[in-house]
């Protein structure tokens, strides 16, 4: 098709790279409650536990390799540079496959100062009370958007959704807002909508078309 493609990816695109999803059977949030590791309140209560959780995930993400789905999206973006990829994932597998990507939920490999908002490359292990290199406050945290916090780049993403001719969601359960509402925003703007997922998601009914299967197969099949 002609026109602008906007793609939203979720944990399912990285599942075959060995990174677990969140809400599937055996998903991360079935083992570790969100309230203990992924809210600002959890960090205020027990920063060591939150750092341990993200230190572990930082190591796993660094060891993982992009899979055929990440590479296929990079090919698509190379052929059609106006293609926008928005990811909820905090791993860097899209970039490591060579794509340009908007990280709406932050990045494991970045640190954020809770005092002055300065950002820098996170060390492999972060620890409670680490000082910000810009202001010196002992307030370093992972640069991750936790529940109850505002996702990043929302105005930019809204502009892309308004201009989209095709919106594609890949490997996301549609359980977390505002990302789960993007399909409706794109539809309202007149875009066609396609869902690529192993199973139907919470918001499947909102899509015009679906392809079911592992991302490493259905994404290259769609792109190529």
Cite the active site residues: 105
Exposure string of 99-126, with b = 16+ CB inside 10 Å and e = fewer, is: bebbbbbbbbbbbbbeeeeeeeebeeeb
Under a CB-based contact definition with an 8 Å cutoff, are residues 73 and 14 in contact? no
Binding of ligand BV8 by 198 (CB under 6 A): yes
Q: Looking at residue 155, what DSSP letter applies?
A: H
Binding of ligand BV8 by 47 (CB under 6 A): no
Binding of ligand BV8 by 105 (CB under 6 A): yes
Query: What does the block give as tokens for 131?
Result: 């000082």
Binding of ligand BV8 by 137 (CB under 6 A): no
Instruction: Name the residue among 9, 149, 155, 157 with its Cα closest to residue 76.
Output: 9
C-beta nearest to ligand BV8: residue: 12
Number of residues that bind ligand BV8 (CB under 6 A): 35
Binding of ligand BV8 by 145 (CB under 6 A): yes
Binding of ligand BV8 by 31 (CB under 6 A): no
Query: What does the block give as tokens for 136?
Result: 């010196």
Which positions lie near ligand BV8, rule CB under 6 A? 10-12, 15-16, 21-24, 27, 38, 88, 90, 105, 144-151, 171-173, 175-178, 197-199, 201, 214-215
- Annotated binding-site ranges for Zn(2+): 113, 116, 132, 135
């Amino acid at each position: 098709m002609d026109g602008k493609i906007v793609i939203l990816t979720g944990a399912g695109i990285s599942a075959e790279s060995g990174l677990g999803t969140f809400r599937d059977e055996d998903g991360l949030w079935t083992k570790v409650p969100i309230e203990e590791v992924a809210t600002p309140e959890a960090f205020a209560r027990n920063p060591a536990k939150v750092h341990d959780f993200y230190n572990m995930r930082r190591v796993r993400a660094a060891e993982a390799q992009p899979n055929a789905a990440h590479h296929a999206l990079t090919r698509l973006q190379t052929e059609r540079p106006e293609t926008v990829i928005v990811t909820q994932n905090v791993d860097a597998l899209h970039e490591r496959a060579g794509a340009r990507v908007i990280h709406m939920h932050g990045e494991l490999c970045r640190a954020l100062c809770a005092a002055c908002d300065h950002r820098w490359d996170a060390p492999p292990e972060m620890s409670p009370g680490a000082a910000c290199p810009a202001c010196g406050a002992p307030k370093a945290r992972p640069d991750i958007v936790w529940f109850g916090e505002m996702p990043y780049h929302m105005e930019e993403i809204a502009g892309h959704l308004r201009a989209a001719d095709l919106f594609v969601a890949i490997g996301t359960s549609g359980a977390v807002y505002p990302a789960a509402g993007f399909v409706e925003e794109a539809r309202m703007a007149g875009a066609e909508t396609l869902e690529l997922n192993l199973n139907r998601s919470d918001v499947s009914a909102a899509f015009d078309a679906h392809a079911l299967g592992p991302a490493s197969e259905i994404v290259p099949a769609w792109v190529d």
